[in-house]
Structure 1
Amino acid sequence: MGYWKKSWKSRDGSVQIVDKYHSQKMQPRNPLVREKRRKRTGVSTSTQEQVNLRHRVDRLARLLLDNFETGDWWITFKLADAVDAKIFRREYEKMIRRMRDAYRKGGHELKYIAVLENLAGRGRMHGHIIVNNVSVFSQLKKLMRTAWQLGDCHIKPYGGDVMDAQRLASYMCKEDTVGKAIRERKKMMAAARKGRKVNGRQLKKLDQIITSERSRICPSTNLVRTKPKKKDIGRAETYREEIRAPRGYHVVKELSYNGWTVDGYPYQHAVYERDG
């Protein structure tokens, strides 16, 4: 019966992402190939949370690749004095309106993805925003002094390649912090099921981290959102495990791998970046 192939290409064609995998519906007929499937042990809540987090990061990385390029701006906006979350959100919305008006005055449309952090009380509130570059640094600096009126802004250029997008998406989704908390909670729950004593306060703290550290992602409505194309490959029993790039591209080894779905079926994730 073959396998599924899901392909995605960025708007400018510089990056391709291809997922190949089997499922209950799409399995090889050859019993020797079918035996590759892992024994299914059930999907725990924590495992699904990790999968959901990874998907969130991947979706955001694709959104960055579709809409932003080398030389666009990554801005951190901070508070000079502490304020409550309601005021912070209100001033953020004012900042966006001022930036949008300034861009339109210059004949451009503002494109952005922002993230608001520490709104639940862990550390001082601040935010980050990536915007399309339509002016020199000095003009942007002047604009941000007017747009964000509660503190300073730090501005630096965005790298623009596939690894930059992945790292930035991971950071904006707090993948390291949330992922670590999910894994630690999973270990504690496994210990509890075996009858071991578990620190309830520590478990509650991990729950709070998982909930509160999930940053609020705020994209503009005018972003391009290229959708992946999915099709069934019925002419082959399975896919080749070796990952080979199409002509004109190279494999991004840091992001490409062979693994397993949560249901135990073989899975391949391949990322290709255009040469040059």
Structure 2
Amino acid sequence: MKAAPFAYHRPDSIAEAASLLGDLGEDAKILAGGQSLVPMLAMRLTHFENLIDISRIEELRDIELRDEAVWIGAGTPHALVGLDDEVAESVPLLTLATPHIGHFQIRTRGTLGGAIAHADPAAEYAAAALALDAEIEATSTRGTRRIPAARFFTGLWETALAADEILTAVAFPVWSGRCGFSVHEFARRHGDFAIAGTTLAVQLDDQDRVSRCGIGLLGMGSTPERGTPAESAVLGRHLSDITAEEVGRLAVSALDDIPADLQGTAAYRSKVCATMVARAWTEAITAALETTEAVHA
């Protein structure tokens, strides 16, 4: 099939894009990398009278460390995020997540902002944003505001963005000290959407107690989810008192809308996700302890 006819707009700046979106209203849709939107248009699962292509706006492709966070422009391709030295040093969870996103062609064209704005429940960057307590920058002709990731994903492919707002950047806090990060997911084939998975970050104090923990879950609801019960349960506890199996079990314990489809039942997804969280916990803790050993070496 082919997409229904639409008008194509290619602004040169954020201000021009915001003005277009404000003027065209609900008849317009932002086109970033197009790796999700274009197939949906081609299959006529959705239609918009106007597409506003922001893929060539240079000011949307910055990666900058400021205010103890790495700010990544919404138009930055996945591949550049995965290769960037600043990201690898300051937000390694993104570096670990990038290879799981589709295939290299998708990572070359798809953008970080597009992936988060699309709000797919199996999106790796969306789960990482939740785990790290990222903030999403939204811009319109009315100004700019920041939306915490915890309040950004509102439903299947739905976000807190207003109809006239463009996602222009995401700020990922830098976790310092004794930290470990891990991404584990299960898919039928590499490059497929994850049936279940996790992005996990953990921080330890000097006595090997958990001082901070973030767990994002993939494929476990209508939106990217967070393993809040597990995060709360491990805080302040010594590593010797925590098992990986406990963390995995608690991470999925509060989910009540786990999808069931041709990929598996809700019970199957829950078991797979708990296993992925357990594996990620073990790997992240190992990395945190190795970081400490490297500092003292």
TM-score by length of 1: 0.24
* Greater relative contact order, per chain length (Cα 8 Å cut-off, separation 6+): 1
Computing the radius of gyration from Cα coordinates, the structure with the larger value is: 1
TM-score (norm 2): 0.23
